[in-house]
Amino acid sequence: MPRYYFHLYNGTGLTSDEEGQEFADDKAAEQAAVAGARSVLADEVRNGQLDLDGRVEVTNGDGKVITVVQFGDVVRVTRPGSGSSPGGV
């Protein structure tokens, strides 16, 4: 199985993935990057902050960028009174 590396860019700088993980294909690696980005954002919220400017760059074993997952693209942020609510009410 191919190995993918998930490099995190956020307010603390770059955190390089030196070990990587094996996934069946690019799509599975991208799904893992989305889940990872959401996990980072959840940790940030628990600490009272939210930085949507971060990203995860997924590279293959050759160092080629497969996809870039922007933090702002993996969550939807709504504010009270914005008119958005579950169920369209």
Chain segment 1-16, per-residue pLDDT in tens: 999 999 999 988 999 9
The one-letter amino acid code at 71 reads F
User: How crowded is residue 8: how many other Cβ atoms within 10 Å of its Cβ?
Assistant: 20
Q: How far, CA to CA in Å, does 45 sit from each of 12, 38, 40, 49, 53? A: 15, 10, 9, 5, 14
Q: What is the pLDDT of residue 89?
A: 45
Q: What is the pLDDT of residue 46?
A: 96
Q: What is the pLDDT of residue 85?
A: 54
pLDDT for residue 80 is more than 70: yes
Burial 26-62 (b: 16+ CB within 10 A, else e): eeebbebbeebbeebbeebeeeeeeebebbbbbbeee
